[in-house]
Structure 1
Amino acid sequence: MADVAAGVTSTYDRMKEVKEFDESKVGVKGLADSGIISIPRFFVHPPETISDLKKPSQACTTKSIPVIDLAHLKYSPLERQKLVAEIKEATATWGFFQVINHGVPVSVLDETINAIGAFHDQPQEVRAKHYKRQESEGVMYATNNDLYRAKAATWHDSLLVWLSPEKVRAKEEEIPEICRKEVLAWESHATKVAEALFELLSEGLGVEAGRFKELGFLGGKALVGHCYPYCPRPDLTVGITSHTDSGLTVLLQNQVAGLQVKHGDEWVNVEPIPGALTINIGDFIQIISNDNYTSVEHRVLANPCKEPRISVVIFFNVGNRGDSEYFGPLEELVSAEKPRLYRKFTVLEFQKNFLSKGLDSKSIIEQFKLPREA
């Protein structure tokens, strides 16, 4: 494979190199472990992607996403109302927040991170047994789920485990043994957190607490365990490019920074807080809320640290819905003062559009937005 330091002048066959890398099954972790001092050319991003990578640490050090204490859930109805207001404000203005006192024991958080880290830290030949590109069901381990679709690859490997609906759920024996127990335990804990947050988000919209659950937002679950190993040229690539998510995202990460959130025109660093979970809402929820909540672009920088950045994400999306069922802004949120902003669509249509767009900011929102009246 050619790299950026080799000075190769012959015709560059990008797809050939991508295919060779993919078929080697070494992953980004394998490249990092080999001691390379440069990166393969297909990981190098164009200037418009990497031109602002150094700015956040200089310009955004005073800003941070909201931190919300979920311990107030246990207190009086008045305290709950305050909590609902906090989450509504955070989701409307940032689209992201961190939660503390969420009820998950620190030991569980540590075990989950350590187990996913242990999977990625296995010898290459052991990891390679799970390497494949069938991302619609079961288990998939690979570098970049969009490796063949993206214009440039990003510096991370991922273990994807489908948890629901049942027709795509991974069989227990498919989940790598080294992290199987922890993955299944984390599913249970993260789902409880998501269920509580969906209730608070519903109440923030002024609808019944169970509204998001009734819509099926706990019916589609996928866990992704990312590894961002050391990158020798973090100035030339990124960990994950700027993108938005689909539904509700619950993120657990170790103490290696790298996640950034776009707030206005600035990129803001999301500093890891020990014991905290990072939450964000995606495009589907922005549409359902008729723009009361906002889905925000975020990215992960390439990791300049020798210690890998490990993150464990569970995406909660609408599942088990037929193609004859249409979604759009909740009728309770549409009025003469706040007209409908998006057209109706099926889950299948949304998923096809969302997956085909790749990691390219918020184009899905524009596809479903109704034209403004003159």
Structure 2
Amino acid sequence: MDVTNSSEIHTESEIEYDRKSQLKAFDESKTGVKGLVDAGVKKIPRIFIHEKNKLDEEEEDGFSHGVSDFSIPVINLEGMNVYGSLRNGIVKKVGEASKNWGVFLVVNHGISSNTLDAMIEGVRGFHEQDNEVKKKSYSREYGSRAFTYNSNYHLYDNPATYWVDSMHCSMLPTPPNPQELPQACRDIMIEYSEKITRLGFSILELLSEALGLNPNKLRDKDCGRALFLVGHYYPACPEPNLTFGSGKHTDKTAFTLLLQDQSGGLQVLHEKQWVNVAPIPGALIVILGDMMQQVYTIKRYS
């Protein structure tokens, strides 16, 4: 005879209500996952646990998760601004990588390692500052202010929460007032944004030429009109086998310029295999968004 303690019986609605309460409490703390780490948690809250069947789906999604023989294309941009055979060679490589991969790394892109390292330290400095200072930037009302910080963009919509905190700032088309930016990373955000914007326009020119268009075609179509700077922070997780820092996704933008630290962990899907993007000091990752992917897919099969 089975005897069940009635206090352990929960209806689906009660479980859902409990999750909503936990999400609300986590959100209202305004300290993100970094706050949990600072509090010394040994077990991650249930809202961060991805159910075993979901983890299995991630592993059995029809794609290979093992060691891949593929390596992400690395393109040397030195000489890209000098029209001639060298630039033509760069354009060809950009076109091939865009059509076949949708992602590539660039080196010798004109932004110094000092600036890149300072940007990474700026993001880390913001997320690791005193919570009471950081809370002043916490918001889910995107667009209400130039700079915001929170944990999980879609906190209340995703079935499980990711182990990540993020800072967000719209730098273009209307640059923010410097006083709206946090002191911990204000100067480097402005410097980095100016330099990454120039590089972004250069890459737009290369992408245009790779499509057989006038160099200014994509820029004239406002593909580089906006710059949205995001700084993700993934503090050490006490139970990393139960959660993720991010899920499978694509970007809706024209393209993303990603500055990766040396910790690794980023993967891209290529020919049904998840390929590790090994960090290269001084490199930036160019990831074509949905719009550009569609353009290059059409070109690939035309």
TM-score (norm: length of structure 2): 0.88
* Matching residue's letter, 1:31: L
What is the count of residue pairs matched by the alignment? 286
Measured at CA, do residues 228 and 130 of structure 1 come closer, stay the same or move farther in structure 2, by a change above 3 Å?
A: same
CA–CA separation in structure 2 for the residues paired with 1:40 and 1:9: 20
CA–CA separation in structure 2 for the residues paired with 1:196 and 1:230: 36
* Matching residue's letter, 1:101: N
* Corresponding position: 1:120 with 2:127: yes
* Matching residue's letter, 1:36: V
CA–CA separation in structure 2 for the residues paired with 1:103 and 1:48: 45
Match 1:92 to one of 84, 95, 99: 99
Measured at CA, do residues 223 and 9 of structure 1 come closer, stay the same or move farther in structure 2, by a change above 3 Å?
A: farther
Which residue of 2 is the match for residue 182 of structure 1?
188
CA–CA separation in structure 2 for the residues paired with 1:117 and 1:75: 36
For structure 2, list consecutive stretches of 5 or more residues without a partner in the other structure: 1-7
CA–CA separation in structure 1 for the residues paired with 2:84 and 2:249: 36
DSSP-derived class of the 2:240 partner: coil
* Corresponding position: 1:154 with 2:162: yes
Superimposed CA distance per residue, residues 172-196 of structure 1 (whole angstroms, 9 cap, x where no aligned partner): 2111011011001111111111111
* Matching residue's letter, 1:164: L
- Once the two structures are TM-superposed, the CA of residue 57 in structure 1 deviates from its matched residue by 10
Which residue of 2 is the match for residue 140 of structure 1?
148
- Once the two structures are TM-superposed, the CA of residue 266 in structure 1 deviates from its matched residue by 1.5
Which residue of 2 is the match for residue 301 of structure 1?
none
CA–CA separation in structure 1 for the residues paired with 2:295 and 2:213: 12
Contact (CA 8 Å) 2:138, 2:148: kept in 1 or not?
yes
In the TM superposition, what are the counterparts of 1:177-216 in structure 2 within 5 Å? 177-216=183-222
Contact (CA 8 Å) 2:102, 2:293: kept in 1 or not?
no
Contact (CA 8 Å) 1:14, 1:42: kept in 2 or not?
yes
Contact (CA 8 Å) 1:57, 1:269: kept in 2 or not?
no
- Once the two structures are TM-superposed, the CA of residue 263 in structure 1 deviates from its matched residue by 1.1
Superimposed CA distance per residue, residues 90-109 of structure 1 (whole angstroms, 9 cap, x where no aligned partner): 11111111100001111111
CA–CA separation in structure 2 for the residues paired with 1:139 and 1:291: 37
Q: Which has the higher contact order (CA 8 A, sep 6+)?
A: 2
TM-score (norm: length of structure 1): 0.72
CA–CA separation in structure 2 for the residues paired with 1:58 and 1:240: 16
* Corresponding position: 1:46 with 2:51: yes
- Once the two structures are TM-superposed, the CA of residue 119 in structure 1 deviates from its matched residue by 0.5
- Once the two structures are TM-superposed, the CA of residue 139 in structure 1 deviates from its matched residue by 1.2
- Once the two structures are TM-superposed, the CA of residue 265 in structure 1 deviates from its matched residue by 1.6
CA–CA separation in structure 1 for the residues paired with 2:101 and 2:54: 22
* Corresponding position: 1:67 with 2:74: yes
CA–CA separation in structure 1 for the residues paired with 2:214 and 2:83: 18
- Once the two structures are TM-superposed, the CA of residue 288 in structure 1 deviates from its matched residue by 4.1
CA–CA separation in structure 1 for the residues paired with 2:9 and 2:85: 68
Contact (CA 8 Å) 2:104, 2:286: kept in 1 or not?
yes
Structure number with greater Rg is 2
- Once the two structures are TM-superposed, the CA of residue 240 in structure 1 deviates from its matched residue by 1.1
For structure 1, list consecutive stretches of 5 or more residues without a partner in the other structure: 1-7, 294-336, 339-374
* Matching residue's letter, 1:30: G
- Once the two structures are TM-superposed, the CA of residue 61 in structure 1 deviates from its matched residue by 4.4
Matched residues, percent identical?
A: 38
Which residue of 2 is the match for residue 27 of structure 1?
32
Match 1:219 to one of 225, 230, 238: 225
Contact (CA 8 Å) 1:53, 1:235: kept in 2 or not?
no
DSSP-derived class of the 2:166 partner: strand
CA–CA separation in structure 1 for the residues paired with 2:267 and 2:202: 25
CA–CA separation in structure 1 for the residues paired with 2:60 and 2:83: 45
CA–CA separation in structure 2 for the residues paired with 1:58 and 1:81: 36
Match 1:163 to one of 163, 171, 177: 171
Contact (CA 8 Å) 1:159, 1:225: kept in 2 or not?
yes
Contact (CA 8 Å) 2:33, 2:151: kept in 1 or not?
yes
